[in-house]
Amino acid sequence: MRYFEQYGHELIWRGGGETLSIMPWGEDSLRVRSAMMGEVRDDRFALLESGPSPDCEIELDDCAARIRNGKLTAAVEMDGWHKYARITFTNQRGEVLLRETAPANALALKSRKFEPYLGGDYMLTATFDGQDGERIYGMGQYQEEILDWKGCTLELAHRNSQASVPFYISSRGYGFLWHNPAIGSVSFGLNRTTWRAESTKQLDYWITAGDTPAEISRNYARATGFAPMMPEYGLGFWQCKLRYWNQEQLLEVAREYKRRGLKIDVIVCDFFHWPKMGDYRFDPEFFPDPAAMVRELNDMGVQLMVSIWPQVALTSENYEEMKQQGLLVRAEYGEQIGMRFVEDSMFYDATNPRARRYVWEKVKKNYFDAGVRVFWLDEAEPEYGTYEFKNYRYYLGSNQQIGNIYPQMYSCGFYEGMLEAGVENPVNLVRCAWAGSQRYGALVWSGDIMSRWEDFRRQICAGLSMGCAGIPWWTTDIGGFHGGQIDDPAFRELLVRWFQWGCYCPVMRLHGDRRPGEPVLRKDGSASLSSGGDNEVWSFGEEAYPILTKYMARREELRPYVRRLMREAHESGAPLMRAMFYEFPENEGCAELKDQYMFGSRYLVAPVLYPGERTRLVYLPDGAWRDVDTGAVYVGGETIRVDAPLERIPVFERMGE
């Protein structure tokens, strides 16, 4: 009886109605797919074309088979009792990287379990053996003060401030992409790793072997796409607040920065500058001449970024047409409402190419043609008011089955539209991402987090995890979004520390809903959405101002270096924020560090993460390290305590880099 077949470089196993496919997909990488009662599908949710596979070998036997692609080998063995195929992945040295769980004799377990929805598709569970001592890095952005996910369970779903990007780098020398946009979960248990998709048509994952984290990142970027080259305006300082509510207010802030001799690259026009959500245009009462506004900003060397929401209010001038044309997400039951904020709305369906085209054409006419070249793609998860994932359906399928791809498609629509309109390297700020988002110019920020020290600490881990998950462009709201009282000394300290750290983030952007706020009235006396308090560098007192301007100036000094890092991300997939283990994978002292990191390969950054802290411990790996503020040189290989007065955070330059 023949269980295994070979078609070119594809290995096929069939048994019990299941078809299992393993084939090369990029250098040192394999793609694994499995379907029940049918052939496997070639869904390209994140993966690009694989290219040729010159270094591939397949060997077949009656009850076993082996496929090798460069450094990665998959051995498929038949279980004699259950007639079930089990896969073991090894590297070029024969070391086990990952192995599917065994049937375990009388337990009759299945490592690829398809549970049917009668008359529909499947709930899928895929399980792998736990690997003793393994560390798991990546997986996107979760609001946890955790860097190593071993022993943790994660929801595979997006929420405001949570971005599920299901790719990780293992300390055992492999990278793994769960190539499935279904709502689900993953548990990295000590005994086994379990992936679950609520609804799917097949199992689909991609695995790569690499001798270093950098090699794994490169293979992943080749498989899913590289970030574009960051434009020059992405290298400096971005000014933002909730919200500049009229044209003159926004321009006056930019003018004041210029008067003070402070360089800003981008200023942001936040949400509700429109008449109604989904109108995709400026409200002429508050922004009477957008083209003139953009021209004046450009003359000052400043780009305007404009907020776009995917919500379309039921009162929008575009709602009825979009509803009639089937361009909106649809609720399975009840009212056709996705969110209630200011007024009822439904999200446009970014998985529908006609909907992406419709929205981009509105945006091009009303923003792009007025000179706007940078967009803020907010609400990108999308942020359903109740997160009832089962209750929504898209062009591509049910939310349960494909919902996690939404932010990637949201970025894609703008990226492709901007390329067509002549923008060479589009970059758009977006509140969520999925695998492959990086190739669509997605600069992800960490969402509407609180202005608290614990949230600050979580952002360090979030940024490092996003980098490991293949999203090199990442940032936060400096100072946090919710709850910052601008006259509160405690908040001012937090903002200063956050700002100092922001200087060493991929993009440096000041934003937040500061208190006290400002009411906004229309000419007829009716209320418009209020504005937050002042959020410029001169808004936080005489002690803070020279510190903030010092780090604005330092960011300018770093511009050539940041440009180099952006080039590395574009060409190799390397993150700008790098966990210590990423740069020093052989150093066990770096494996668990989550409160310091490398900004590229040159600078070790140790943010001050607790109120009142004026010294902190820093681990310096082997080599010589120079304190960039004091000039003191230290010999690495040990933990030191360094001074951290309010006016500076510890940053060390790696000598000889």
Q: In what order do the strands lie in the sheet with 192-200?
A: 112-116, 122-129, 192-200, 184-188, 153-156
Residue in the block written with tokens 């321009």: 251
Peptide bond into 489 cis (omega under 30): no
Q: What are the helix (H) ranges across 481-609? A: 489-502, 544-557, 559-572, 580-583
**Phi–psi pair at 539, nearest 5 degrees:** -90, -5
**Active-site residue among 204, 381, 455, 595?**
381
Type of residue found at 364: K
**Active-site residue among 27, 198, 265, 378?**
378
Residue in the block written with tokens 């290298």: 235
- Structure tokens given for 84: 């079930």
Annotation marks residue 448 as catalytic: yes
Three-state SS annotation for 361-403? HHHHHHCHHHCCCEEEECCCCCCCCCCCHHHEEECCEEHHHHH
Distances (CA, A) of 239 to 21, 390, 511: 50, 38, 7
Distance CA 58, CA 33 (A): 17
Tell me which residue of 582, 610, 584, 585 sits closest to 595, measured CA to CA.
610
Type and span of the H or E element at 66:
strand 64-69
DSSP output for 441-472: TEEEE--S-BSSHHHHHHHHHHHHHHHHTT--
Read off the DSSP letter of residue 348: B
Peptide bond into 648 cis (omega under 30): no
Three-state SS annotation for 114-180? EEECCCCCEEEEEEEECCCCCCEEEEEECCCCCCCCCCCEEEECCECCEEEEEEEEECCCEEEEECC
- Structure tokens given for 280: 């995709």
Contact (CB, 8 A) for 574 and 584: no
**Active-site residue among 448, 534, 568, 627?**
448
Q: Considering Cα of 545, then 547, then 549, then 551, what sign does the dihedral take?
A: negative
Q: How far apart are the first and last CA of the chain?
A: 59
Catalytic sites, residue numbers: 378, 381, 448
